[in-house]
């Protein structure tokens, strides 16, 4: 590819990063018996498109909603959060069936989908709103902390920066952000490759 065309493609991939709307598609299919019980968990792992996609693929997860948590502004917009000053992180609220998957299993999975050594963002998404955290209720905190200790033992305490934080109000993001990876597989695939997610995760976790 010629240099001008390469630069154009690169710009398009950057523009496709966590922020643009796309077309509708079919919902993911879950397998196994549903107990009807529901619990929620909130995770901030950089771009919420990727966090949502990772959790939706797990048996026992009923839904994953992209949004914001941990800040001061009520009902924030995407533009407000990425501009800075609201204190919010991009986050995902996971609704799950505790008879099919435990909260601890969700936290264990979360660590391996992020780079917990990066305090300035995740992969190609940089800035305070792309920080990482587990938002845990009082009941969830023991499991979250135990999971974090196990992950720290692999990475090293001096490198591991992702905290377990107190549960905070979760605000859903705009409709065009929801299920972005599923509804826009080609655009999400380009974004993910451009960001170097897989290579970085291999470097961190092996």
Give helix 185-195 / helix 48-56 axis angle, nearest 10°: 110
Distance separating the N- and C-terminal Cα atoms of the chain: 33
User: How far apart are alpha carbons 20 and 56 in whole angstroms?
Assistant: 20
Q: Residue for token digits 């107190």?
A: 166
User: How far apart are alpha carbons 38 and 62 in whole angstroms?
Assistant: 8
- The CA distances from residue 52 to 27, 81, 132, 144, 152, in Å, are 13, 18, 14, 19, 23
Catalytic choice (18, 47, 124, 195): 47
**Per-residue three-class SS string for 28-88:** CCCCCCCCCCCEEEEEEECCHHHHHHHHHCCCCEEEEEEEEECCCCCCCCHHHHHHCCCCC
Do the Cβ atoms of 93 and 41 come closer than 8 Å?
Answer: yes
Give catalytic status of residue 18 as yes or no: no
- Per-residue DSSP letter, 159: T
**Which residues belong to the active site?**
47
């Amino acid at each position: 590819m010629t240099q001008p065309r390469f630069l154009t493609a690169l710009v398009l991939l950057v523009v496709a990063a966590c922020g643009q709307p796309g077309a509708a598609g079919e919902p993911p299919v879950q397998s196994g018996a549903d107990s009807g019980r529901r619990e929620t968990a909130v995770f901030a792992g950089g771009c919420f498109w990727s966090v949502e996609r990772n959790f939706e693929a797990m048996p026992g997860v009923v839904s994953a909603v992209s949004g914001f948590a941990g800040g001061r502004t009520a009902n924030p917009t995407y533009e407000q959060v990425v501009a800075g000053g609201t204190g919010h992180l991009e986050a995902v609220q996971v609704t799950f069936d505790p008879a099919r998957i435990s909260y601890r299993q969700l936290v264990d999975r979360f660590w391996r989908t992020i780079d917990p050594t990066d305090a300035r963002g995740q992969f190609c998404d940089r800035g305070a709103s792309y920080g990482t955290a587990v938002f845990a209720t009082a009941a969830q905190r023991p499991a979250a902390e135990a999971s974090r200790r196990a992950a720290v033992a692999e990475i090293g305490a001096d490198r591991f920066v992702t905290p377990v934080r107190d549960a905070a109000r979760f605000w859903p993001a705009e409709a065009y952000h929801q299920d972005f990876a599923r509804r826009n597989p080609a655009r999400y695939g380009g974004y993910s490759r451009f960001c170097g997610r897989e290579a970085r995760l291999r470097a961190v976790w092996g």
